[in-house]
Structure 1
Amino acid sequence: MENIDPQPQKPTPRPKRELTYIQKVWHTVGIVALLVIVVLIARVAFNVLLMILAATLIATYFHGLGNIIQRKTKWGRKPAMAISVGGSFAIIAALLWFMGTKIQYQVAQLSHSLPGTINAARGKLAETPVGQQVLTYLDDNSGKLFVTAQQFFSTSFGVLGNIYIILFLGIFFTVSPSVYKEGFLIIIPPEKKELWRCIIDRINVSLKGWLKGTLLSMVLITIMLVIGLSIVNIPAVLVLALFAGMLKIIPNFGSMVAMIPGVLLALTVSTNTAIVVALIYMVSQTIVSNIVTPIIQNKIINLPPALTIISQVIMGTLSGALGIILSVPLLAIIVILADELYVKKINEGQPKPEVDAKQVPLTD
């Protein structure tokens, strides 16, 4: 009789060791701490990406100006780019040299008169019931507004550090843009390289359109306010106009913020003067925003106004002033990426709409 080996016995599973309450608490704390660290790293990395985008805009400006010089003069690429970069810095230095003393005097004048201007504005507001409610609200929330403004204008490395990094990155991108473009395309699979070249070209055209419209709008709004406020005899005209011109880079909100100091100064003269100054600001902003800018920005992607405001609020919360300034070009880039990588792909298999033969014009 054959001996039948008994079936091997399965090893008895070891009983699961249940975590104690203290261990569960420490595990939870560790997971939360890890998530917080990841969020903080992502936020810092996002600010770095914004600085790279700002540097890309600087390089786009220099190359766009170089293209114009090259077309007009028929010179080589290197002389055109040298004039583009050197000429831009020379113009800025000349403006600061000729207008620096006047700007400094007007800034001192504005700083000296600002406390009295604010007190005069408070007195004007206190004369009406609505103004009293506004003053009560501002007094109750002054500390909260100060903290919000402080956070709003804070950045990751400080304002001067960010400007330094952005400027030098922009110069490096200007000197050898193909190195960074081809370096990015190296990591793209061969079958996707043509698609990403098309995406980069679309983004380049969109950023150029935004830059042209924004820069010309800043110059025009500055000139119009200098003329308009000079007619009304408002003090510190040049500073107010330059302030409004710089804030023009922030759509929607920049125009409202720029109007505040001008109207406050006008209130020290009379209420009618303040109304006239407010009208000057609104008319200038309307002409530039609704007539001039759309004509120049004909190549930029058409963004819905509500979507622009939402992106500004989100970017301002995440990255402060730099995020608000770059919210529109960043939104344009996101829309282009979504269009090229998603929308066009899902519409590839869709049948094209039938065209009525009667509506098609006949050609000879």
Structure 2
Amino acid sequence: MDENNSKHEHSSGGKNLKVYTQKVWITLGIIALLVILIFILKAAFNVLLMVFAGSLIATYFHGVADIIETRTRWRRRWCVMLSVSLSFIVAGMLFWFLGAKISEQVGDMSKELPDLVKTAEDKLKQSSLGRKIIYYISGNNSQKLMTSFQQIFRTSFGIVGDFYITFFIGVFFTANPNLYKDGIIKLIPPAGKATAKRLMDRISYTLKGWLKGMLIAMFFISILTLTGLTIIGVPMGLALAVMAGLLNFIPNFGPLIAMIPAVLIGLTVSVNTTLIIVALYLLIQAVESNIVTPMVQNAMIKIPPAMIIISQVLFGTLTGGLGIILATPLLAVIIVTVDELYVKKLQNNQS
């Protein structure tokens, strides 16, 4: 009897061990699949970001075409062609008249960068606050900062091939946007087609308003920065102004990045000049934040500033620099989508 019980316990123990082993392997398999899925989604998200960037290019061309069509009443095809042609002509003229000067100043800035950093370090060593700043950005701390900076901006956007892909996606979207819009709508069940079309129209309107506001803000920042730096007498003012305008496309972080080379160049002149440059950049950003940004938000959608920073950190962590650059329009699209698909329906049900 005892012998039978021991055999039964041994058999059940073996079965339990086998079941436990199977559960362990199943769990490991699920974890492995989740890891693989995360990597696939991350790679796919990078591709989706390039598609989104391409759609922004198409949105810009069609936004300019809307203005031309409103004023001329010409056929849409001709307005789009004129929009693309005018954009390239204006860009070519700017490059022709300003490109050589900007290229020269950027080249000088690159050559002088080590000397600028050395001069800045010598100036900072003359004060206790400066010595603390040097301590935090030197040695291991400097290496950590540089590693973090490289990690943020080491993205597909930095690869020339991906830039061309994004550009050609934008060209195809510009040439025949209805083909892709209708294709997406066809995938939606019949009951949701009207909502999908309304959502896409609203997203298009929001992005056009956002792009219009951003272009005005970038031009505004460039002109004010060039004027201020010229009055102060800072060298390489044109390159710094163009850099400030372009980097204003990235809220919060862009203006801070644009200020760094200006401060380094200012330190080669004097500490007072550096303080004036910092005050100038802060003043311009204050004017832009209190005048231009509200205009942009009224043209698209009001986004809480904290949400912009959170989205930049989130998308930057996932995809790097491209995520940071596109964080604001992506957040606008998400807010519009949630409002159209959830908030409005909830309000209708309550009423």
* Same-fold call, TM cutoff 0.5: yes
Q: Please tell me whether the aligned partners of residues 217 and 289 of structure 1 are also in contact (alpha carbons under 8 angstroms).
A: no
AA paired with 2:58?
A
**CA distance in structure 1 between the partners assigned to 2:78 and 2:343 by the alignment:** 42
Which whole-Å deviations, capped at 9, do the CAs of 1:238-293 have from their partners, x for residues lacking one? Answer: 11111111110001111111111111111111111111111111122222222123
Q: Which residue number corresponds to residue 58 of structure 1?
A: 57
**Equivalent residues of 1:212, 1:297 under 8 A apart:** no
Whole-angstrom CA distance in 2 between matches of 1:136 and 1:28:
47
Is the CA contact 2:157–2:321 (under 8 Å) kept in the aligned structure 1?
Answer: no
**Aligned residue in 1 for 2:4:** none
Map of 2:67 onto structure 1: 68
> SS at the partner of 1:93?
helix
Matches within 5 A, 1:321-336: 321-336=321-336
Shift of 1:302: 0.5
Segments of 4+ moved more than 6 angstroms: 20-25
Which residue is 2:343 aligned to? Answer: 343
Matched residues in 2 for 1:20 and 1:340: separation? 49
Shift of 1:205: 1.2
Q: Shift of residue 208 of structure 1?
A: 0.8
Q: Which amino acid aligns with 1:35?
A: L
Given the alignment of the two structures, is residue 115 of structure 1 paired with residue 111 of structure 2, yes or no? Answer: no
* Structure 2 match to 1:253: 253
Residues 205/269 of structure 1: CA separation in 2 closer, same or farther (3 Å cut): same
Q: Indicate if the aligned counterparts of 2:250 and 2:324 stay in contact, CA closer than 8 A.
A: yes
Match of 1:359 in 2: none
Q: CA deviation at 1:21?
A: 8.5
Question: How far apart, in 2, do the equivalents of 1:173 and 1:197 lie?
Answer: 17
Q: Report the AA paired with residue 63 of structure 1.
A: H
The corresponding residue for 2:31 is: 32
2:145 is equivalent to residue 164 of structure 1: no
Distance 1:141 1:21, change over 3 A: farther
Amino acid at match of 2:199: I
- Quote the residue 2:144 is aligned against: 144
User: 2 CA distance for matches of 1:296 and 1:25?
Assistant: 54
Deviation string for 1:167-195 (max 9, x for gaps)? 10011011111111111010111111111
Max Rg structure: 1
Q: Is the 8 A contact 2:65 2:83 kept in 1?
A: yes
Structure 1 position 154, deviation (Å) = 1.5
Specify the code of the residue in structure 2 equivalent to 1:117.
L
Say whether residues 1:283 and 2:302 are aligned partners: no
Structure 1 residue 65: Cα displacement: 0.4
The equivalent residue for 1:209 is 209
Indicate the RMSD between aligned Cα atoms, in angstroms.
Answer: 2.0
Task: Find the counterpart in structure 2 of residue 134 from structure 1.
Answer: 133
Q: SS of the residue aligned with 1:302?
A: coil
5+ residue gaps, structure 1, are: 1-12, 352-364
Q: Deviations over 1:206-240 (max 9, x none)?
A: 10111011111111111111111011111111111
Write 1 or 2 for the structure with the bigger share of helix: 2
Moved more, 288-297 or 95-104: 288-297
Residue range with higher mean Cα deviation, 176-185 or 338-347: 338-347
Paired with 1:219 and 1:157, the residues of 2 have a C-alpha distance of 23
Match of 1:81 in 2: 80
Question: C-alpha displacement at 1:143, in angstroms?
Answer: 1.5
Seen in structure 2, the aligned counterparts of structure 1 residues 131 and 273 have a Cα distance that, compared at 3 Å, is: same
Distance across 1 between alignment mates of 2:347 and 2:72: 44
Q: Displacement of 1:32 after TM fit?
A: 3.2
Give, in whole Å, the separation in 2 of the partners of 1:100 and 1:333: 34
| Corresponding position of 1:264 | 264
Instruction: Tell me the matched-pair count.
Output: 338
Which runs of structure 2 are paired with 1:152-231 in the superposition (5 Å)?
A: 152-156=152-156, 158-231=158-231
TM-score (normalizing by structure 1): 0.88
In the aligned structure 1, how far is the partner of 2:276 from the partner of 2:132? Answer: 24
Give the conservation status (yes or no) of the 8 Å contact 2:213–2:299. no
Mapping for residues 307-326 of structure 1, pairs under 5 Å:
307-326=307-326
Contact 2:59 2:207 in 1 (8 A): yes
2:9 corresponds in structure 1 to none
Separation in structure 2 between the aligned mates of residue 157 and residue 121 of structure 1, nearest angstrom: 31
CA distance in structure 2 between the partners assigned to 1:112 and 1:157 by the alignment: 25
Letter in 2 for 1:346: L
Structure 2 CA distance for partners of 1:157 and 1:231, relative to 1, 3 Å: closer
Against the structure 1 CA distance between its residues 297 and 342, is the aligned structure 2 distance closer, same or farther, given a 3 Å change threshold? closer
Which segment is superposed worse, 33-42 or 301-310? Answer: 33-42
Q: Do 1:311 and 1:331's aligned partners in 2 also have CA atoms closer than 8 Å?
A: yes
Q: What TM-score do the two structures reach when normalised by structure 2?
A: 0.91
Q: Alpha-carbon deviation of 1:25?
A: 6.4
Deviation at 1:295, TM superposition (A): 2.3
Q: For residues 350 and 23 of structure 2, what CA distance do their matches in structure 1 show?
A: 53
Q: Aligned partner of 2:53: which letter? A: A
Are the equivalent residues in 1 in contact too, given 2:259–2:281 (CA < 8 A)?
yes
- In the alignment, the residues of structure 1 paired with residue 72 and residue 34 of structure 2 have an alpha-carbon distance, to the nearest angstrom, of 56
- CA deviation map 1:38-64 (0-9, x unaligned): 111000111111111111111111011
